[in-house]
Each structure stands twice: as structure tokens, then as C-alpha cells.
Amino acid sequence: MVNSDYLKNLNKAQKEAVTHLDGPLLIVAGAGSGKTKVLTTRIANLIREKKAFPNQILAVTFTNKAAKEMQIRVSKILGSSAVGLSWLGTFHSICAKLLRKHASAVNLNSNFTIIDTDDQIRLIKNICKAENVDVKKLAPKYILAIIDRWKNKGYYPNEVNINYKDIYEKTILPIYKIYQQKLTDLNSCDFGDLILHCVKILEKNSDIREIYRKNFRYILVDEYQDTNFVQNKWLNLLVGIDQNICCVGDDDQSIYSWRGAEIKNFLEFDQIYKKTKVIRLEQNYRSTQNILSVASNLISNNQNRVGKTLETTMEDGDLVKLNCFKNGKDESIGVSDEIENIRNKYSLNNIVILVRAIFQTREFEERFLKIGMPYRILGGIKFYERAEIKDCVAYLRLVNQEKDDLAFERIVNNPKRSIGESTLKSVHEFSKKNSLCLEASSKKMIEKNLIKPKAKIGLSLFLDLIDKWRFDLKKKNINHVKLLQIILDESGYSSMLKNKKDLENENRLENIKELLSAMKEFDNLESFLEHVSLATSIDQDWEGEKVNMMTMHAAKGLEFDVVFLPGWEEGLFPHQKSIEEKGQNGLEEERRLAYVGITRAKRNVLISFSMNRFYQGDWIDSMASRFIDELPEKFLEKNSFFDENKDEIEDFDFNQDIEFESEIKSPGWLRYQKRIKS
């Protein structure tokens, strides 16, 4: 049954966006402005007004979840009339459908296989082995990332113009050529090929291109600011003579350039389509006016944007809190105290801590574990459960205790020491037979010459290092922090991460640096290892409410009642690497990220920074983020722990004589005391 009232619940701008049917249309949809509602209602209206049959509408999203939600919403409006929306889906799903119809045009059969990441890595490894490329120095994941970047730019191997200053690109291009030929030979393609092949088919075959241009009477695109070059080119090739393309997005939320997204697609839309109608959705249905005012003022400092002013019909709400702390530990205490104060008002599930970099969660995790505050890491792994952290702890555990077979197993061949599964199996069998731990068994087997020569060399070197580190710890009295630094260097673990070109390794190194900072808080190795054991043994999977932690990138599209934004310090946010690599463009993307973080909040935002950070075992002075200077004073409530340090905070006049509750007085501390006494 058709819902004839589907236009009545739209505001003026939304209604205009739905009913303006013909010609190119750019909908600038601010955060929380109901863009999904507009898109789905627009599809329903096109069908209801008989402008197109369902199968003549191409509607493209970035996620299966978004596509499914759109399908459900259209069906609620049109009922059975919505049947036949066969071209509503993600870029990849729609391109896969097109490619199966025209696979022969790119030398594939219609039953081609779409390979996953694991298959891609396996194929790259085989190619590297055949071409004598050292995967220890040039990781398959990094090779695939570069290949994917080229495909996002629309390049087959013969179309790539490499940067000859980049030694890696010179090595990777021949691998790309072999890789692409292998895919063809296997009648396969990867996800990048799905779009790239379709673009090439449409470019080279005007007859095929015209078929789809005539069929797709209307094209709609969600999250247009996140499109890359090849996705945008594919869309342009499908646009017919009437130019009935409608793109919806928010240039102020373009934060994925590192994934290939190009904001210029959005900014230059009206240059490609000269008769573009621009409609701004500026009515926000999520946040209070004070939150929107802070976010709008901040983002107005960006030069490359279409521009809009968000407004809400909601109350002004609470002022945005801006808190300064002496150090990172005090920041975690201050945040936990704030959560304790509001947890009776808001569900923990509706409270989130958004960080710029994932290593920042460590101090909050430590604090929450200590006071019994339940939490979850969304889109990531808890600090002490991250692989590189577990590796470091395993090294320390084995140095501390030779009978720790689990630690031995984890690190004996990490980094690679030519100690394979067959060797480990033999050691296990010897261990069981002689009732010895794995380390002692290894030493005995080396004495008896029971290990193959290559593995024997690697295993001997490893055992010698373990003995040397124990001597450093017990005889030289080297402290546990310095010991881990020595282990990371002498084991080759640091070199493995630094030398191996891998996009994930930067985060791994940051996490290890944060681990070194954490270790400084403990008097000795034993107390630190005990802490780790207790931290990882606490059941964090209990049912009920939990505080959320995630990166700002992962939070896009989500909303919470209360948002905490810690660590607003120069170098961390905006991130130094982003500015160094991309200059002004990088700075503007960091500011858009700040905007995304603030606009996730419905009721309260709490921004904080610290004057000192404990980093890699040393205290460093921090400087407040330049973004804090851009926050409008009249919408802020400023507090400081340390009135005596006002003069050190150059950017502010902290004039409120307010102190946070001390750690001892906080509800979390009281709960912790009760727990340890029971």
C-alpha cells in the first residue's frame, strides 16, 4: 500500500530536494540533516510521479547496510511498487553485476571469481618469491595498497606513470603487471577491478555505454564526498543527455583521503555539470544549538568548502566543556569522573570517547579497569590484546620465567628465524617425553644435534639472546623499560616494523611507544607483568551497558548523547604526519575530522587537552591544538585543575576557581576500594 503522505514530514529544503527531479542536483547535507530520508523519499517520488520505473533508477551507496536501509525505507513508502529496484546497491555490487554481463570485453568469463584480501596476499607472495622480491622489506599488504591506489586513479599497469624518486614504486609496477595478468589467467578480479574494468568497458565501447545511459533515467549517489577518482569517472560515464544525476553528501565530512577519496569531486561538481542546482540541508535534527555553533565556527576556518550554516529547532543546551589537565593520566581521571557524574542521566551505551589515534585508548582503558567502569573498543582491539603488545609482553614473560611455554611459542620465530612448524613439533615432542619446558628442551636438542642446521642457527641465536637479557635484568640491574627497548632492538623486532613497508606498522610502533610509557608507571618487571595479567583476565564481555571508545574516523555516521574528545594537542590533533605530507589540505582534513567528532554529539561535548604527556618513557610539554583557538568563547565552559598554571596556558583565560573531584573522592575510586577489600 502506497503512503501518500510521504512529503508531509519534510522541511522546506528537504521537500525541494525531493521534488526537484530533472537536471544535475547537488544536495549539501549537513550532519544530522536527514540525508537518508531525502534520498529514499526522492527515489519513491520518482517512481510515484512516473518519471522512471524502479529498474531505471541507479542508486549507489558505500555500504550494504546503507543500501538495505534505503530499500526498506522506499518499500515502506511505496509498498509493492518498490519491487524492481534492481540497481540499488554499493559501487562494488553494482559494478560486479555490470561486469558479469560484459566480462568478455576485459578478457574474462562471466563466471569470474572475486578474490578476497587473503587470496590477494597469497598471490602477491607467490609473485614476489618468483621475482626475488624480499617480502620482509616490502610487505605484500603495502604492495596491494599501492596497486589499489593506482586502480583508484583508473590506471591499468601500462597506464601508470611512476614517481621515479620512489624506490618502492619502481619495484611494485612490474609486480602489478604480473599480478594483473595472473588475475586474468585465473578468470578472477579483485575489488578494485570491479570498478576499473567497468570504467574501461564504458570508455572503449560506446554501444554498451549508450545502453546504460538510456536505461538509467536517474542516478542517485550517497556520501558523494567519499568517492575516489575512478568511482566518479564511472558515474560520469553513465550520466545520460538529460544529466539527471543527484549527489548527496557533506564536504565538511570528507575525512578519507588516505583511502583515495577526493573532495574535489564534490567541490567541482557544478563545474562538470554546468546547470547544477545546489540545495543545502541545514536543519539539524541531532544536536543542540550550542554544539552546532561550536562545530560551525570551527569548520568555517576551512577554505575549500561549499559552505552552510547548521541550525536546530532544539534548545541551546549545555555549553561545550573545555578542560585542561596537567597530564594524560589526570585527563583519564577527569573523563572517568565526568562519566560517573552523568551515568545516572545517560546510558553508558550513549557515551563515547573519540580519539585521533588508537594508542590513545590505553590510559582510559587502564583507568576504567582500575575503577570497574565497563567499556568496549569499537572498530579496534583493546590495548593489551593487540598483537604487537602481546608480542612485547611475551618477550618480557619469557625473560622473567623460562618455563613460560606459551610465551616461548609466540616469539621464538617472531621475527622470522627459520624455525618452522616441523622444528617446533619436534621440540614439543621432546618436551613431553622428557618432562622439560620448551626452552630447556630446545637447549638439550641443540646439544644432541637433533635440530636441522638452518633452524639450529636461528634457535641458538634466540636462546643466547634470552640468556643475555636475563643477565641484563638480574646482574646489570637494567630497568624493565630499558630492557624492553633492548629486546626490541636486539631481537630484530623494531627493525621488522621499521623496515617492512606496511601501512599498519605506523600504528603498531605508536602502540609500542605507548606501552613503554605505561611500563614507566611500575617499579619493576614483575609488577608490570602482574598488571597485564590482571588487565587481560578481567571479563570485559559482561552484558549490560559500556562506555564506547573508538577513533574519530570510525565514528562517522554514528551519534551519541555525550561525546568526549581528549588529546587536542599539536602534533597529535591535528596530526603532525597529516600536515607534513599534505600541507594545507592535510590541515583542512584534520579540521573536518574535528567537525565530525563534535557533530556526533546530541547533548554534550567535552573537549580536553593536557599540558604534559608521558611519551616513550619521558615527559614532554604539550601545546594546545590550534583548533581550540578556533572554538567560539561564548559557547564554551572552561575549567582547569591547576589554577597556579594559568600563565602556562597561553590560549585561554581559565578564570573559574573550580577543581575536579580528586581520584580518592571519585565514585569509581570508592567502587575500586570496595572491590579490593571484599
Average pLDDT over residues 642-659: 41
Cell of residue 556, nine digits: 562517522
Better-scored residue on pLDDT, 91 or 136: 91
3-state SS assignment for residue 63? coil
Does the pLDDT at position 354 exceed 50?
A: yes
The one catalytic residue among 190, 193, 223, 569? 223
Question: Is the distance from CB of 13 to CB of 248 less than 8 angstroms?
Answer: no
| Percentage above 70 pLDDT, the chain | 91
Q: Is 222 a catalytic residue?
A: yes
Q: Is 401 a catalytic residue?
A: no
pLDDT band (50, 70, 90) for residue 75: confident
Average pLDDT over residues 307-331: 91
Burial string for 640-670 (b: 16+ CB within 10 Å, else e) reads: bbeeeeeeebeebebeeeeebbebeebbbbe
- CA angle 658/659/664 to nearest 5° reads 155
Q: Is 663 a catalytic residue?
A: no
Instruction: State the Cα–Cα distance between residues 605 and 449, nearest whole angstrom.
Output: 65
The one catalytic residue among 42, 61, 190, 222? 222
Q: Is 600 a catalytic residue?
A: yes
pLDDT band (50, 70, 90) for residue 616: low
pLDDT one-digit tens code per residue, 397-427: 999 988 888 889 999 999 989 898 899 999 9
pLDDT at 310: 87
Cell of residue 125, nine digits: 607472495
pLDDT one-digit tens code per residue, 532-559: 877 765 545 546 789 999 999 989 889 9
pLDDT one-digit tens code per residue, 218-260: 999 999 999 999 999 999 999 999 999 999 999 999 988 888 8
pLDDT at 47: 92
Q: Is 223 a catalytic residue?
A: yes
pLDDT band (50, 70, 90) for residue 527: confident
Does the pLDDT at position 59 exceed 70?
A: yes
The one catalytic residue among 40, 231, 253, 551? 253
The one catalytic residue among 15, 16, 36, 409? 36
pLDDT at 165: 73
Average pLDDT over residues 46-63: 92
The one catalytic residue among 600, 602, 613, 638? 600
Alpha helices, H only, 79-166 = 91-101, 117-130, 140-152
Does the pLDDT at position 81 exceed 50?
A: yes
pLDDT one-digit tens code per residue, 256-279: 888 888 999 999 999 999 999 999
> Mean pLDDT lowest for which of 31-40, 375-384, 437-446?
375-384
Does the pLDDT at position 6 exceed 90?
A: no
pLDDT at 166: 75
Which residue type occupies 124? I
pLDDT band (50, 70, 90) for residue 662: very low
Instruction: State the Cα–Cα distance between residues 235 and 254, nearest whole angstrom.
Output: 19
pLDDT at 664: 38
Does the pLDDT at position 659 exceed 50?
A: no
Average pLDDT over residues 658-666: 39
pLDDT band (50, 70, 90) for residue 64: confident
